[in-house]
Structure 1
Amino acid sequence: MHWLQMQSWSPYVVGAAMGVLSWFTFLLSDKYLSCSTTYARLSGMVERRLRGSVVEQKAFYRKTPLIVDWQFMFVIGIFIGAFLSAFLSDSLHLEMVPELWRQHFGDTPVLRFLVAFAGGVLMGIGSRWADGCTSGHAISGALQLAISSWIAVVFLFASGVIVAQLMY
């Protein structure tokens, strides 16, 4: 079980494992791996708590009901798995401002939070416009040879490289 304590794994092994997981997900449930719908549902659940059942009348939530389903549990599992991985590899620590950010932009946690929040909002909008998130397109869509997913993956990587070059 030494491999569970490693701080980094081979991206090739992890990529292959994710592909096999996708195969089994299709085989056993006829569903594909993705996450962004869960975040949209979660925001709808929060809004429903604040505004009542009127939220369920929105077009998106009529098509995508506010339920806790397998995908919701999958996302919770991602958080639990990330925590366990960091804990078992002895790399778990809280860090408000990562070292690379600190070197380039200073150690202000408020700026880091605002940029992360803005990035999250943009990612959420983008995943709804693209009708899927990175995992939905790059893993599941590419596995199905969907042209739209391959186009999305090209732009995801290209924009990631451009933004990283601009920021760092």
Structure 2
Amino acid sequence: MEYILQPWPWYVSGPLLAFIMFALIYFGKTFGMSSNLKTFCTIAGAGKKTKFFDFDWKSQKWNLTVVLGAVIGGFIAHFLLSNPIDIDLNPDTIAQLSQLGFENAGKSLLPAELFSWNAVFSLKGLAILSSGGFLVGFGTRYAGGCTSGHAITGLSSLQLPSLIAVIGFFMGGLIMVHLMFPLIFG
């Protein structure tokens, strides 16, 4: 009998995530990936040039384990736990993606039209990465944190600015997928 890998069910992953958030709140810590970028910039010496990066990065060493865990977890998920079966996408979604030029919609999690080295190093790919990176960086700084920080830590501690930021993230995602995506790939 062939064993098919499945994602963890919500009733396992949800309580684990809640436990981690309660522990972080109890110990007075916050979670967010953008704070790690700030820490890396500080380690590299950016604090000598900009006051924003002038802080005691050693107090954030614990948070750097989040980056290490994300890298190791991504490696394990991709190389050990990936399931090479088709993705269960809505047929209408597959048809819309096919109209936009995605040949194997629903056949892989990361479509080659976006995530292959040829796509990344094309003029369009570099423009998308550059503009997207700028917007993500600007938005993260302007919102005072990233999606994971606001959606996980901020909402867990009932912060109204995080709720507003998360609503903005979802609105931006909807605008991108329904308005910008067809313009870029149509």
Amino acid at match of 2:31: L
1:37 to 22, 35, 38: 35
Distance 1:118 1:10, change over 3 A: farther
Please give the per-residue CA displacement for 1:21-65, whole angstroms capped at 9, x wherever unaligned: 1112222x221211101112323434x3xxxxx743521122x33
**TM-score of the superposition, structure 1-length normalised?**
0.72
1:33 alignment partner AA: F
| 2:21 alignment partner in structure 1 | 22
How has the CA–CA distance of structure 1 residues 108 and 101 changed in structure 2, closer, same or farther, with 3 Å as cutoff? Answer: closer
- The percentage of counterpart residues that share the same residue type is 28
Alpha-carbon separation, structure 2, partners of 1:55 and 1:156: 29
**1:83 CA displacement:** 1.1
Task: Determine if the alignment matches structure 1 residue 134 to structure 2 residue 147.
Answer: yes
Could you list the per-position Cα deviations for residues 64-116 of structure 1 after superposition, in whole angstroms to 9, with x for gaps in the alignment? Answer: 33446111221221111111122221459xx9x833538xxxx6332324412
1:109 maps to what in 2?
Answer: 120
Q: Which one has more relative contact order, counting CA pairs under 8 Å at least 6 apart?
A: 1
CA contact (8 A) 1:7 1:86 kept: no
Letter in 1 for 2:19: V
CA distance in 1, matches of 2:168, 2:11: 21
Q: Which runs of 5+ in 2 are unaligned?
A: 85-107
Give the 3-state SS of the residue equivalent to 2:175 in structure 1. helix
One-letter amino acid of the counterpart of residue 134, structure 1:
T
In 1, distance between residues paired with 2:174 and 2:11?
A: 20
- For the 8 Å contact 1:137–1:150, the answer to whether it is kept is yes
**2:67 corresponds to which letter in structure 1?**
V
The verdict on how the C-alpha distance between 1:136 and 1:116 changes in structure 2, with shifts beyond 3 A counting, is same
Are 1:6 and 1:89, in contact at CA under 8 Å, matched by a contact in 2? yes
Which of these residues, 133, 136, 140, is aligned with residue 123 of structure 1? 136
Q: For 1:58 and 1:136, locate their aligned partners in 2 and report how far apart those are by CA, in whole Å.
A: 23
The number of equivalent residue pairs is: 150
- The CA distance in 2 between the partners of 1:91 and 1:56, in whole Å, is 47
TM-score, normalised to structure 2, is 0.66
Out of 87, 112, 117, the position equivalent to 2:79 is 87
> Are the counterparts in 2 of residues 56 and 66 from structure 1 also a CA contact under 8 Å?
no
Question: What letter corresponds to residue 35 of structure 1 in structure 2?
Answer: M
- Larger radius of gyration between Structure 1 and Structure 2: 2
Q: In the alignment, what sits opposite 1:65?
A: 56
